[in-house]
Chain A
Amino acid sequence: MSDITKKKMEEIAQMWNARGKGLITHMALEIEEVSSEGVRVRMPFNPDFCVDADQTLLHGGILTALLDSVFGLANFVAIDGVSTMATLDLRVDYLRPAYSRADVIVRAHCFRKTRHIAFNSGSVWFEGHEDAEIARGTASFALTRGGTDLFDAMTKGKTS
């Protein structure tokens, strides 16, 4: 059962997209589905994220960055009243070479949340090839609660 309202979820998605700077802006992420059960996000192809001269093979690191970002979003929507959130650890398996110029799709969810810790997992594939995952990741996040809500801090931070 969701412990945050649908409206707040939409606000979170909107705020996340509107962040004025940083890696998320460069990844040009598009949130496709968002609920407390999990999120689905699209990353359009970007030649800057490739390792080869032909620019068709994505670097693993960008998939790791994508998972880390989307885990954060999944926690945002699944957990209410978080004031800070930091990645504690992250494990990523690169299951196949990421050889394509197709958009990348990632699905992630928070499978367990406690007062201090959130546990996440997620999968990454190229659009249309959900049966051929290119990466899978798990992570844990340290949460603090009380004080300024992270959502409010980010909304304000955006304009500064």
Chain B
Amino acid sequence: MDVQTANANVSRVPFFRFLNFEIRSLDNLHAEAEMTFDDRHIGNPVMEYYHGGIIASFMEATAAIAVQPDFADVPAKPINLTVDYLRPGVKGPLFARANVTRKGKRMASVSVITWQTDREKAVAEGLYHFLLV
């Protein structure tokens, strides 16, 4: 699937519009996305850092697209997730790369990494499972 069609799918999802991100690249096993900072993403009002839940949501969204960019009604069904928060997410764009580590008939396992200015300095890393049936 091409990036344009994937973004058309993204724009159908109300919560994805709330997150305000775009898919930047896509192939069979990966998806990369960029989220634009907005005041509604703030978790720490003093430092204006991203809310941890927004970071986890953005990672989940990117992972779901990597697993099933051509979803019909709703994105891939999540089973569970674990997230490691490594650095604060500061005001500015946030990038995510989802890597499908295993995709079977019933289940998929996806690892996701997010960063801001330096890909080597991850803001968070996560592992997401999806149910494909």
Q: A residues near B, CB below 8 A? A: 19-26, 47-53, 55, 57-62, 64-69, 86-94, 97, 153-154, 156-158
Q: Tell me which residues across on chain B come within 8 A of A47, comparing CB atoms.
A: 14
Q: B residues near A, CB below 8 A? A: 12-19, 39-46, 51-54, 56-58, 60-61, 73-75, 77-85, 88
Mind listing 24 A-B residue pairs with CB under 8 Å? A21-B42, A22-B42, A22-B44, A48-B14, A48-B15, A49-B15, A51-B13, A53-B12, A59-B60, A60-B60, A61-B57, A61-B60, A64-B57, A68-B51, A68-B56, A86-B85, A90-B82, A91-B80, A91-B82, A94-B78, A153-B46, A154-B46, A156-B46, A157-B46
B80 adjacent to A51 (CB under 8 Å): no
A60 adjacent to B84 (CB under 8 Å): no
Q: Tell me which residues across on chain A come within 8 A of B75, comparing CB atoms.
A: 51
Q: Tell me which residues across on chain B come within 8 A of A67, comparing CB atoms.
A: 53
A92-B81 contact in complex given A49-B14, A51-B15, A67-B53, C-beta closer than 8 Å: yes
Nearest 8 A-B pairs (CB), nearest first? A65-B53, A61-B57, A22-B42, A157-B46, A59-B15, A68-B53, A23-B51, A87-B52
Q: Tell me which residues across on chain B come within 8 A of A86, comparing CB atoms.
A: 85, 88
In the complex, what distance in Å separates the CA atom of A49 from the CA atom of B60? 14
A61 adjacent to B53 (CB under 8 Å): yes
Which of A55, A61, A66, A69 counts the most chain B CB atoms within 10 A? A61
Nearest-Cβ distance from residue A113 to partner chain B, whole angstroms:
18
A62 adjacent to B80 (CB under 8 Å): no
Q: Tell me which residues across on chain B come within 8 A of A58, comparing CB atoms.
A: 15
Nearest-Cβ distance from residue A148 to partner chain B, whole angstroms:
10
Nearest-Cβ distance from residue B14 to partner chain A, whole angstroms:
5
B51 adjacent to A65 (CB under 8 Å): yes
Nearest-Cβ distance from residue B122 to partner chain A, whole angstroms:
13
A89-B85 contact in complex given A97-B77, A157-B45, C-beta closer than 8 Å: yes
